[in-house]
Structures are given as C-alpha cells and as structure tokens.
Structure 1
Amino acid sequence: MTIDNGTRVAIVTGGSRGIGRAVVRRLAEQGYSVVVGYAGNADEAAAAVKEAVAAGAQALAYRADVADETAVAGMFAEAETRFGGVDAVLNSAGRMYLAPVADLDLDQMDALHRTNIRGTFVVAREAARRVREGGSITLFSTSVVGTYFPTYGAYAASKGAVEALTMVLAREMRGRNINVNTIAPGPTATELFLDGKSDELVARLAKSNPLERLGEPRDIAEVAAFLASPAGHWVNGQVVRANGGMV
C-alpha cells in the first residue's frame, strides 16, 4: 500500500540506536515519515519505530547492511512503496575499531572500512539516484578526523573518505536542488562511544571542549534535522563539526 500524504519522507540508517535513533525521533517530531534502517537488532529498531509513531509520525523498520547494495536498494524501494518517495537520507550507520597502527588487525580494519566507506558510498549512490528534487543527503564523519587521537587511525581514515566525498557529491547534485552535507560529531554519550572507556577518560574527553560536557545524541539530531529541513537547505557541501568547540 502506498501512503502519500504530502509529508516529507526520510531514511535514517543506523536508526535503531545512538545518534541515529535520536535523529529518527527528531525527524518524527518534525512530521517526517521515517524508515528506520538497521543492521541486526530488530527489537531496538521496533522500539525506534514505536517512538516515532508516538511522536505522530508514520514509520517502519527495514533491515539492511549499508554495504550491501541490494539490501539498500530494497530499503529505498520500500520507502517509495509505503510512503511515496524519499526526500531526506541520513546515513548514521557506522562501525568503530580502535588500535595503534602497529597492532592493527587487518580483518577488523577491512570490516570497519566496509561499513564506513563502502557503506557510505552504497547509501550515497542510491540517494543520488532516488532522492526527490529539493531533498537532502546527510552523511556522518567524526571530529577525530581533525584531532588525530592515537589508536583512531583506521576509524579516522574511514571517515576522512566520507568528508572527501561530501563536496564532490554536492556538486554532482547540481540542477536537482539537493543539498549534501556531513556531520562530524565530537565525543557523544552513546553506547558506541562509551564502550571500553574508563570513567577518567570519559571525564577528560568531556572537558575537551569549552562547553565542558559530552554531546548528547539529541544535540547531533538537532543539527541533522536542520540540515535536512528547508531552513538548512542553503548549507551545502559542508562538514559541520558538532562538537562543542573541541579542537
């Protein structure tokens, strides 16, 4: 069944947890119909859908590995079938692996880059083909690309590729009125960020910006919702470092 009530439609990958889930909630509050893309945790994806519906939105969950072009194409097709089209794509799906370069597990690095680089290009390719005129594409990087913390080499390199893609894709969208941007969060209180970090390290990172706190997923979701909205449409081809002033 097709539902086309004139509302804007968003696909949010990595939408079942962390920043992606906060983005789902914020877009739902703004009246978007939302497809919650997820990789494996169906219960968390269902909970994200429930939150979106409670906010007054239409929503559905769709399982898709972002690096699998067939699955991603199916997710876009489902959005078109159920909601009538796609206006905003926000690719928050990502993987983190930390190790000094001398100790890199190359299989782990390959898996990281499969999700963070290949996955970004797969989602961006489908978005470039299918987002409706006047729409928006938002990718995700990390402020570590500019802080150069030890052990983040493989992760930062994967996100550096995303940043390099941003302006290229924005220019390729010429004539279609589609803006393309990347958000690079700083330390944000998500399960992915907090996993394996001592309380001392978390406290030190919280003090690393002038606002002296960790970001919250909602902080990043507000930026994402702005960039996807008509109000943020003039921002194009940019990497937005949403990090409280961290340098």
Structure 2
Amino acid sequence: MDAKEPPPRAAADAAPAVAADPPTEPDSPEVAASVADCPAGDAQWASLLASNAAFVAHGWRPTLAGSSVSSHREALASGQSPSAVVVACSDSRVSPELLFARGLGELFVIRTAGNTAAYASTVASVEYAVHNLGAPLVVVLGHTGCGAVAAAVATAADAGAMASQPSTLATFVKSTLLAPVRAVWARGQGVVDTDFVAACEAENVATAVRSLVTKSTWMRKARARGKVKVVGAMYNVAAGTVKEV
C-alpha cells in the first residue's frame, strides 16, 4: 500500500440493518451518547479476566467440587442464565469457553467471520441474551493474526487481492471489513509491518462495538441506563491472554 495515497474506496456496506424499535420512546441526544455504570457487568468482566489469567497459568479449570459434567448438563436442560455474551471470531484457535475457563451454560457465544456485528442475526442474538437471559456483559473479542482483517488489509492495498476467493467471501471483506482499515489509515498511521495490522484488528473490534449500539436502539438505551456493559477486547493467540481495547 502506497503510504502517500489512501486505500481505494469500496462499495458501500450492503449488510442488512436491524429494524428499529417501535418509536414509543424516542432517543434523546443524552441517551444516544451516554454510557452509565453497570456494576454487574463490571464484576463479570473482572471475573472473566481473572479466569483468563488462570487459563494462561494453569489451563482448563478443574471440575467444581461435588459436581460432575453429567449432573451439570442435566441441570441446564431446564434453562440457561449465562453471565456474559461473547461475540468472537470463527477462527478455530479462538474458543471463548476455553480461554475464559468457563463451562456449559456460562457464556452465550456468537461466532462470526472477523467478529463483526454487521448483520441482524448477530445483533438480534446479543439482544436476546441481554434482554431475555439477563446477561449484564457483552464482549466483542478480536484476536491476533485474524485472517479476515488480513484479507481486508490486502484488499485495501490491491483491489484484486480477493479475486481467487469465493464471491460471497470477497464481497463480505470488501463491504464490511475495509472500513476499519481505512479508519486506521485516516488517523495517519502508516503501514508498518504487524503494527498496522494490529491497529486494524483493534479498530475492527471497536467498529463492532459501535455497530451493536448503532444498529440496536434497545442495546443503546440499555447501555445508557446501566443495564449492560459492552467491552471490546483482544485475544493474543500465542500468549493466551485477553486484554481490553
């Protein structure tokens, strides 16, 4: 990518928008922009980070004393009450239950290519888990070495980079994943080996966080009222660590 010229423009994002909530309670500017404290979400996020530290140090946690996998599974047959929602990449190296050292019924996981929140099905799944299951925390989890972001960086440098890929995949990269790359470029950050890619991975997470509260009026209001905490984070595939971004 020429450091003197911005990457080429792509077609507008063709992802379907989530239908707005009924206009019974229109947003005020304060509601649209504000983020209230969410003590329950803060507590769950601290717990997940502590569990991730245990995963890094010791691997998968032991079975709880006096419990068994079969008895726990049977107890969950009547319903679920996950403590957090995780929107993660589909990458096979990124397993939220493992890296957060959690078991059945503890995390509501949604996995998409590039951990995006561009489509209605993802946003609706998050709404369901927060509204109906009471999860006070949503984590958008990106990761190092993300192939989807790498494809977007390559496409920004060369519009024909995805020519050999299936058409749906190529269209997804161009319509959804190029925007974070352009945002990093617009901040004046040049293409410097992995530093640029890492910045694009972090910006991709931030884009998904914004997308959740932009496409969902309900989520935006819930966050403004302190009902849910929305966090962007990165998983280091080599080190096993999760850090907020």
TMscore range, shorter length? 0.3 to 0.5
TM-score norm. by structure 1 comes to 0.37
TM-score norm. by structure 2 comes to 0.37
Larger relative contact order (CA 8 Å, sep ≥ 6): 2
Q: Choose 1 or 2 for highest CA Rg.
A: 2
